[in-house]
Amino acid sequence: MLQHKSIRAPRGREISCKGWQQEAALRMLMNNLDPDVAEAPDQLIVYGGTGKAARSWPDFERIVAALRRLENDETLLVQSGRAVGVIKTHADAPRVLISNSMLVPKWATWDEFRRLEALGLTMFGQMTAGSWIYIGSQGIVQGTYETFAACAKRHFGGSLRGKLVVSGGLGGMGGAQPLAATMNDAVFLGADVDAARIEKRMKSRYIDKMTDNLDEAIRWARDAVAQQQALSIGWVGNIVDLLAELSRREITPEVLTDQTSAHDPLHGYVPNGMAYEAALALRESDPQRYARESYRTMAEHVALMLELQRRGAITFDYGNNLRGHAREAVERGFADAETLRGSVGLAKSAAATHSAPQNSTGFDPFKIPGFVPEYIRPLFCEGSGPFRWAALSGEPRDIAVTDEAVLATFPEEAALCRWIRMAGERIAFQGLPARICWLKYGQRAKMGLIFNRLVREGRVSAPLVIGRDHLDCGSVASPNRETEGMLDGSDAIADWPILNALSNTACGATWVSVHHGGGVGIGYSIHAGQVIVCDGTPEADRRIERVLTADPGLGVMRHADAGYELAQRVAREKNVDLARGE
């Protein structure tokens, strides 16, 4: 059975499918499960708690077989990780349409999802796991880099040199944080209970140093701050214990955030007060108690973040629903005032004794702002977002050619060019060679056409695949993350990601997906993704131009409709038709 083997995407120009569009989907599905890419490939888990690429190993085999027999005028339908049918369409239609984890709203709870999952009826697709465009931690590095850079610009004169950044979670998403921080010249101190995750980031050069000794980790961090040395440190332990110790020692980081898998209280987040192995055993033996302990720990986690925020740390939520679950912990009685007083009262000093929340009404996790409204929304208004691509050849030199093309195309974009140069020097490839950068409306279509020309001219040795994170300007409805605090109050309106998926389907993206729950958990988000293949053909030119114009265009429309003046100005300048009859 395939679950006993390592999955690795094919390389080179020889294909096993009937066309490059199908071959691209096959290779990217397999790339998601490459041991160098996925967090737990033997369980089909790619990242983000239980984010999977296929529902089961027989389903994986079924998808692979379907892709290999799929004609160039057919479309494969995938329902939560299972191939369920093939329909006759046309050459410009998507080759694959995917829907993951979608539940009728009244039933959209973790308990109901897990009941259905146990029956083998669904799977959690996360964002780019179940849409087959995850490219390892690199996929989120630039978004994290942009966030830290925006934080530095607003609060620290443009640089994090000599500043301490503290966070939790060093898995598939959070593992991008240490490199993004040091690229901004910061000192990074991060915690993860799973030593294997930190070891994986050490191997890929995302983390500089690792220890299970908390005193040593803090000493390294303080020395690096004093020397203004960019350094990343991974400590094996629970982030709540790290924050409690920083509070006790009266060490206040300049920047504080979190990327633990708090979106999933059972299979993602790990409670404190017990060894990691004991927590895993509890997860299996008593999942209800485990979830209660996770909720209780999240409340303590947020209470400590609020205390460090009060002491001066620039503190923001990174979109994992930690705040929402901390609030829920108090509302459901999993954490009480005494617990929260204890979590922030560890320091025997006046500084830590007067601001602990005393009851549920005084405990407001949303005093911690989200990273999107705080730093990213202006980029979204410009149709800017994560533009990622992979070399289906498997040749690193093909990415080097595309890097040079980006630099030559946008020399006036200083931050973009700095990023591309740093990425080429410092980011190790995981699985198929890939790259990501943030491009605006207009820039994405332009770059996509250039990439297709590179394939046509043979300057790259095989087709390229272009995708993006679902965290994009017009593809998500997530009130605790991407759409938090919308100007017109439309945070929970989910029409936009559905329109995004429909538009990309109409425009001829190679595969299109709609998901529920990615990033923040079941019940909290709806989002969509698209992928387009550059195979060098004139037909691909037309599809690329349509898709890479419409996709970010939805982001400009969404923010213009919400009343953002910047988005309205971009729409006027770039001729984005807002259907206003003007």
> CA–CA separation, 512 vs 502, rounded Å?
9
Three-state DSSP class for residue 337? helix
Tell me: pLDDT of 345 over 60: no
Q: Tell me the average pLDDT across 189-215.
A: 95
Cβ–Cβ < 8 Å for 211, 233: yes
Cβ–Cβ < 8 Å for 478, 493: no
Mean pLDDT of the residues in the chain: 93
459-517 pLDDT, tens digit per residue, is 999 999 999 999 999 999 999 999 999 999 999 999 999 999 999 999 999 999 999 99
Tell me: pLDDT of 425 over 70: yes
User: What pLDDT, on the 0 to 100 scale, is given for residue 341?
Assistant: 62
φ, ψ (nearest 5 deg) of residue 461: -85, -10
What is the reported pTM? Answer: 0.88
For the annotated catalytic residues, the residue numbers are 437
Closest CA to 534 of 471, 445, 440: 445
| CATH architecture label of 139-372 | 3-Layer(aba) Sandwich (3.40)
Helix, strand, coil proportions of the chain in percent (round to 5)? 45, 15, 40
User: What pLDDT, on the 0 to 100 scale, is given for residue 360?
Assistant: 43
CATH code for the part of the protein at 1-136+380-393+434-575: 3.40.1770.10
Q: Tell me the average pLDDT across 235-240.
A: 98
| pLDDT confidence bin for 344, thresholds 50/70/90 | low
| pLDDT confidence bin for 319, thresholds 50/70/90 | confident
User: What pLDDT, on the 0 to 100 scale, is given for residue 355?
Assistant: 35
Q: What is the largest CA-CA distance in the chain?
A: 71
User: What pLDDT, on the 0 to 100 scale, is given for residue 350?
Assistant: 31
Tell me: pLDDT of 351 over 70: no
Q: Hey, where are the domains in the chain?
A: 1-136+380-393+434-575, 139-372
111-167 pLDDT, tens digit per residue, is 999 999 999 999 999 999 999 999 988 888 888 998 999 999 999 999 999 999 999
| pLDDT confidence bin for 322, thresholds 50/70/90 | very high
